[in-house]
Chains A and B, each alone.
Chain A
Amino acid sequence: MSAAARPIMSAPPASPALRSIEALWLARTAEAGARAADDPLEALRSQAMHRVMALGLPGSRDDTWRYTNLRSVLARTFVHVPDGQAPGAEDADADAVDSLVGPAARAATVLVVNGRPILSPPDGNGNNLLQISRLSDLSRPDIEKIQGQLGLPSDAEEARWALLNAALFADGLHVRISGALDEPLVIRHLLRSEFPNGLVHPRVLIELTSGASATVIEHYVDRGRHPPLGNSVTQLVLGHHSRLEHYRVFSTSAAAEHIDSLTVRQAGHSHCRQFTAVLGGGLVRTALHAHLSAAGAELDCHALLVGHEARQVDCVNIVAHDARDTRSRQTARAIASGTSRAAFNTKVVVNRGAVHAESEQSFRGLILSPSAEIDSRPQLEIHADEVKCAHGSTTGRLNPDMLFYLLSRGLDRRTAQTLLVYAFLADVLTGMSVACARAAIETALVPQLPDSKILEEFR
């Protein structure tokens, strides 16, 4: 037995989830055996796992998890999701087309099943501007080059599941963009399992070299009777003067649960536009950790949170301004119907030295049923002088004056409400420059708008 395979003592009382995760780790280590010694990422994995076990999984007492109810997740005994559940060729093709951009042109489409990229070799290598690889296919020197980027997430509670991802990801996708990509790159994540209590750890690293520009769309969907818990991590690394428009769209089923962490590291004068859209899922937590680490870096992030039926949506953004003349803007719009709950929990930290930093946080929530709930918590921590920071947060119901105006013009109630909800979300939707993705998101929204009867009851 190798050193890493010994049981790891955890400090806090371990939940069933954590105990099962430890068992998964031990099984993995035993299976990897001697091969592990050659894996340059093995040390990273092992460190990450030890820290997860020492620190435990976060719960509702932890600050950034207060709006995510993980009780049922922590009570679960997770099992390994075996490979070999990749869809057949036809299935893969169908899935690839049935993505947010429809038949529109794209730079490439990558299907990732339970975190394992399905790559057809000729496609990925034809384009010099765009290199797409499986982490498992990278040579040792290549891995060493990106090791720093893959890095170890911090010990902070908000990054705990990302730490777990670092320990257990089966494979991952590495994308390197070194020029101007005219069409979007589509990454379609498929989560599927035939057995309950699966846990998968998709991992994506996207690098833009200096001056590169691209649009990347990540789309999460699930199939099968027992979608595994998704614990995904995407890392965006923007070089100097690069521009990226990134989408992460969750269209999972009501039975699916997902914990996603997105980290953004931006070099000088880079510009990142990020869109997060939660359109499905039973529980979806999206985290964004951004570091504006050099002068002139600019981040616009927009979130569209759709609470429907019993869905829980928790959006946690932490944006750190680490350098002067950095700018961040956060816009989020949440609607909640049924018994759903949507939360927007954000923090902007302006660190010392980040003079002339500018930040804006704008949140608006629209409650569409009496049993729905929306929480928002914009926070600001400023350690530098001469900064401009603003935040605004409002939550309310559908404006009765607007509704009456539309009804008085003869529009039926459902159309009027739909229009008003659209109008409410328009700030975020209109910012999306990929028209077909925007249209697909709009289409997905419509069936999730509340029934007129429910609203009448509510009034």
Chain B
Amino acid sequence: MPDRVVIVGGGVAGMRCALELREQGFDGHLCMLSAESTPPYDRTLVSKALISGDPVDAERLLLQSLEAYDDAAIELRLGVQATALEAADRRLVLADGSRVAYDRLVLAVGGEPARPPRLMADGVVTLRELGDAQRLAPVLRTVRRVVIIGGGFIGTEVASVAVARGLDTTIVDAALPFAPLLGERVARRICAMHRARGVTLLTGTPVDRVRRASPAFRVDLADGRHVAADAVVVAVGMQPATRWLERSALRAARGVAVDPGGRTSVAGVFAAGDCALVLDPVTGRYASGEHWDAAGRHGVLIARSVLGLQAPEPRARYFWSDQLGMKLQMIGRAHGADSVEIEEAAPSPCFIAHYRRRGRLVGVFAAGVPRAIGRARRELQRAPESDGNGLARPPARVHGRHEFAYPNVVELAGSHVDR
């Protein structure tokens, strides 16, 4: 059992890791370092209630009260930025030059929004933190035209809030929103639902650059067209917030590759949540999870790993999005499916999509039909996706030692990482 565990990052992965460590009987020193000034909070609200103006009280926002940290003897340090890792000495270096020693380090720093320079004219907004939402919310009450670059979850959630307020709302996406995640048929259904609600959706339309035309903006499309906007939100994806680890023994500027137990290539160092690159058994590639539920579960798994305990049973992955006035939910995966069956549900345009591979259910997507998800879960649990599709199973964990299962993964990650 280690004496000192340090968790870097104040998101859900770090939080769930800390709670699970205590839950499993770890009674050594436990410290959480967050670069943000707000205690760990529910980041899913940043693109939902926090920009729509719905009341969100502190109790709903924070993952737990400050008292709860004291009760669990978790030292929470806010406004603290980690800037380097001295792995040989088991020390983390902070922005103020001080060092934090650890026996076990859990990197849970999450991701940061991609900010392509051509798009980031002065005043263009990205969404990651509470402050971003607090700045965008009043803008969405006062402007007339908003352009959102990127039709992923963040972009479409912002669009839903904007169009519900009666704003002239445009989403511009270089490809077809949701297609990589849900396949083309389901993606087209969702796009149609956005258009039916009045969103102007330009698909297959890359953006060349965004220009400031104070007080407005001009979005220049690659096809030569221009779109005027009073506000521009860039939501074109995220990358792990790990550039500060570039010169460390991890060499992990674009994310920290981990084995199935969350171990990195450096003894005593683990990575959890969006900053971790996990081998996807379906694609055979290393990628970041990018979903809330997965991040929390990963934190729990890493806590077990840190303590040398049995990992929890793998569970079908789940994500959800609140948009279009309904819940979009998915359990399992579309990727790897060879067929999709769409079932209409009431009220229109709600629907359920069943994804199958070789006749076996591998994922269910539901638009406005939450009951379909819980039911699908039981069927999916019987054959979890961790079975993969014939790819070699990872080697069994070696008890008690920090044995990284993929010794060449640093080289692999450079060529196989999805982004």
- State yes or no: do A and B come from one complex: no
List chain A positions with a Cβ less than 8 A from chain B.
none
